[in-house]
């Protein structure tokens, strides 16, 4: 009896220990899911030394870092920038990425990659000249990927004053781009055919040449804002052979040449055909600083590229959507119902006469606005477009921005307004652009949805023309 009692007491004690252990294990298991891992190799020294050319690890929230020489993210390494970080560049420096690069800003804590002490002037300026605006001085190079860069991801990140000479201070960064040492850098360059490039909810303010060039890889460029891109030339988003994906809900103002360009130039065995789906973008005053004649001002397809282009709001640009003829885009694909529902506003006859650019082969689409039939001659020959009288398309269908005058007032030229400043380009409730867009097509959606390694939010086609949607979706830079 005594033995049985002892065994009973021992069993109860053991059960208690087991229950306690299970409870402790459950609590610890819950803690695993609550646990935030420490950043990999935190960079606590905010003055990044030039004793080594390489950089990797994590820039920490709330810190301001200084980079005064070119830094290289080596193959297999990663540089991560947490939310709320500012990086100042000196001496025309840049970051060359052979590994992976993540700038993970948030709406509440965006990141800044910039140069300190540069005064912005965003007010309209009579007889504006890019040569007197420091936004076009190319203060630092940019973020430049080699052909081994696996990921280049920008979220809620400002890039400002990019485009320094590639060979400045003895830099050899020009070898990454295949350019001369005296050429200006692109702001962002990605070229890995098997890599992933994302630029979402971000900004580029001021570039000398192309703001972003992609020559290979899966890509998604969403809900971003581009001001003052291209000093006397250069495109904003320039996608070449090997690049494929989506560009949507972006805002462009005052850019030198094309805002969105697709070209299969550089096609080679093993490279994907350039294939870009362009939808719900807003483009203002584009194309007026390009020094070379006949260059674009809004959307451009050329040299075997294919894609889609719908729901774009194109206002006072030098040219409308342009399909080149000298080395033609993939017209068999484009003409097969893969562009249209694009909305044009032009203050002047010269602008209306280039909605369908002369000497190019853009086929008018009946669902564009203004309706091509309202101003193009009967039997208009788009394959031999020697010109037309666009008078009936001038100042038709004011899109009614919340705060921006159309037609332009105050004695300004279109090329005098190159930044958002105090203007607001969301649509008024009675805008004719609301509910007029086409949603019956499918984005490419080749990039995964992921808070780090892909797109945080994949924006489907919007029902309103342009990047700002009346239901609050689309571009969030109000």
What pLDDT shows up at residue 56?
98
Structure-block tokens of residue 406: 């159309």
DSSP 3-state of 427: strand
152: Cβ–Cβ under 8 A, 6 or more apart, which residues? 97, 100, 101, 143, 145, 188, 190, 195, 196, 197, 198
Q: Parallel, antiparallel, or unpaired: how do β-strands 401-403 and 424-427 relate? A: antiparallel
Which residue stretches of 102-225 are H helix? 174-177
What pLDDT shows up at residue 25?
37
Q: What is the mean pLDDT of residues 351-360?
A: 96
What's the pLDDT tens digit per position in 299-326?
999 999 999 999 999 999 999 999 998 8
CB distance 397 to 432 below 8 Å: yes
What pLDDT shows up at residue 22?
43
Q: CA-CA distance, 32 to 27, in Å (whole number)?
A: 9
What pLDDT shows up at residue 20?
45
Q: Which residue has the higher pLDDT, 453 or 8?
A: 453
What's the pLDDT tens digit per position in 39-98?
789 998 999 999 999 999 999 999 999 999 999 999 999 999 999 999 999 999 999 999
Q: Is pLDDT at 5 greater than 80 in this prediction? A: no
What's the pLDDT tens digit per position in 44-57?
899 999 999 999 99
What pLDDT shows up at residue 296?
82
What pLDDT shows up at residue 2?
42
Q: Which residue has the higher pLDDT, 31 or 431?
A: 431
Q: Is pLDDT at 168 greater than 80 in this prediction? A: yes
Q: Is pLDDT at 245 greater than 50 in this prediction? A: yes
| Inter-residue long-range contacts of 369-375, CB under 8 Å, 24+ positions, other chains counted | 369/342, 369/343, 369/344, 369/396, 369/397, 369/432, 369/436, 370/344, 370/396, 370/397
Q: The tokens 């003895």 sit on which residue? A: 170
Q: What is the mean pLDDT of residues 162-180?
A: 97
Q: CA-CA distance, 87 to 434, in Å (whole number)?
A: 39
170: Cβ–Cβ under 8 A, 6 or more apart, which residues? none
Q: What is the mean pLDDT of residues 173-183?
A: 97
What pLDDT shows up at residue 464?
99
What pLDDT shows up at residue 38?
64
Which DSSP string corresponds to 209-223?
A: S-SEEE-SEEEEEES
Helix (H) or strand (E) holding 425: strand 424-427
Q: Look up the pTM and report it.
A: 0.92
What pLDDT shows up at residue 37?
56
Q: What is the mean pLDDT of residues 241-259?
A: 98
Write the burial class of residue 5 (CB in 10 Å: 0-12 exposed, 13-18 middle, 19+ buried).
Answer: exposed
Sheet containing 237-239: give its strands across.
71-73, 95-97, 143-145, 188-190, 212-214, 237-239, 260-263, 299-302, 322-323
pLDDT band at 34 (very low <50, low <70, confident <90, very high): very low
Helix (H) or strand (E) holding 351: helix 349-352
Q: CA-CA distance, 356 to 298, in Å (whole number)?
A: 11
Q: Percent of the chain having pLDDT more than 70?
A: 92
What pLDDT shows up at residue 33?
36
What pLDDT shows up at residue 39?
76
Domain boundaries, the chain: 46-175, 193-478
Q: What is the mean pLDDT of residues 281-296?
A: 89
What pLDDT shows up at residue 326?
84
Q: Is pLDDT at 283 greater than 50 in this prediction? A: yes
Q: Parallel, antiparallel, or unpaired: how do β-strands 212-214 and 203-207 relate? A: unpaired
Q: What is the mean pLDDT of residues 276-281?
A: 99
State how far Cα 24 lies from the chain centre: 48
DSSP 3-state of 383: helix
CB distance 315 to 285 below 8 Å: yes
Least confident of 3-12, 283-292, 438-447: 3-12
DSSP 3-state of 54: strand
Over the chain, what is the mean pLDDT?
A: 93
Q: What is the mean pLDDT of residues 253-266?
A: 96
Q: CA-CA distance, 266 to 11, in Å (whole number)?
A: 77
CB distance 435 to 465 below 8 Å: no
Q: Within 10 A of 40 (CB to CB), how many other CB atoms are there?
A: 10
Q: Percent of the chain having pLDDT more than 90?
A: 87
Q: CA-CA distance, 65 to 85, in Å (whole number)?
A: 8
Selection from 86, 84, 92, 99 nearest residue 68 by Cα: 92
Q: CA-CA distance, 219 to 443, in Å (whole number)?
A: 12
User: For the chain, what's the residue count?
Assistant: 478
What pLDDT shows up at residue 453?
97
Selection from 280, 283, 230 nearest residue 253 by Cα: 283
């Amino acid at each position: 009896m005594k033995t049985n009692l002892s065994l009973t007491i021992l069993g109860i004690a053991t059960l208690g220990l087991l229950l306690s252990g299970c409870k402790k294990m459950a609590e610890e298991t819950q803690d695993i899911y609550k646990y935030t891992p420490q950043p990999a190799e935190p960079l606590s020294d905010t003055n990044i030394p030039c004793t080594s050319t390489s950089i990797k690890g994590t820039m920490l929230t709330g810190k301001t870092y200084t980079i005064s020489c070119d830094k290289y993210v080596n193959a297999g390494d990663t540089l991560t920038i947490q939310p709320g970080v500012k990086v100042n560049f000196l001496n025309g420096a840049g970051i060359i990425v052979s590994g992976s690069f993540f700038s993970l800003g948030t709406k509440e804590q965006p990141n800044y990659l910039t140069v300190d002490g540069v005064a912005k002037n965003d007010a309209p300026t009579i007889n504006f000249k890019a040569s007197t605006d420091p936004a076009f001085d190319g203060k630092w190079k940019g973020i430049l990927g080699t052909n081994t860069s696996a990921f280049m991801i920008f979220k809620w990140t400002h890039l400002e004053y990019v485009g320094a000479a590639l060979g400045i201070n003895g830099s050899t960064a020009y070898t990454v781009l295949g350019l001369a040492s005296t050429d200006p850098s692109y702001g962002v360059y990605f070229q890995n055919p098997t890599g992933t490039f994302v630029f979402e909810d971000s900004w580029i303010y001021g570039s000398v040449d192309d703001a972003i060039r992609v020559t290979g890889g899966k890509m998604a460029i969403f809900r971003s804002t581009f001001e003052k891109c291209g000093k006397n030339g250069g495109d904003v988003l320039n996608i070449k052979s090997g690049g494929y994906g989506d560009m949507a809900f972006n805002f462009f103002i005052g850019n030198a040449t094309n805002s969105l360009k697709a070209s299969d130039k550089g096609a080679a065995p093993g490279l994907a055909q350039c294939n870009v789906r362009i939808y719900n973008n807003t483009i203002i005053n584009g194309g007026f600083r390009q020094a070379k004649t006949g260059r674009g001002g809004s959307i451009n397809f050329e040299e075997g590229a294919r894609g889609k282009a719908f729901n774009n709001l194109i206002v006072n640009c030098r040219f409308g959507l342009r399909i080149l003829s000298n080395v033609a885009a993939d017209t068999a694909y484009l003409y097969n119902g893969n562009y249209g529902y694009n909305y044009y506003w032009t203050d002047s006859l010269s602008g209306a006469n280039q909605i369908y650019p002369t000497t190019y082969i853009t086929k008018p689409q009946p669902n564009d606005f203004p309706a091509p039939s309202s101003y193009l001659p009967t039997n208009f020959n788009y394959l031999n477009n020697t010109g037309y009288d666009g008078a009936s398309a001038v100042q038709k269908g004011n899109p009614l921005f919340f705060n921006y005058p159309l037609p332009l007032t105050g004695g300004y030229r279109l090329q005098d307004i190159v930044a958002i400043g105090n203007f607001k380009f969301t649509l008024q409730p009675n805008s004719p652009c609301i509910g007029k867009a086409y949603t019956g097509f499918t984005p490419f959606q080749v990039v995964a949805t992921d808070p780090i390694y892909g797109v945080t939010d994949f924006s489907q086609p919007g029902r309103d023309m342009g990047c700002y949607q009346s239901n609050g979706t689309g571009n969030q830079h109000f």
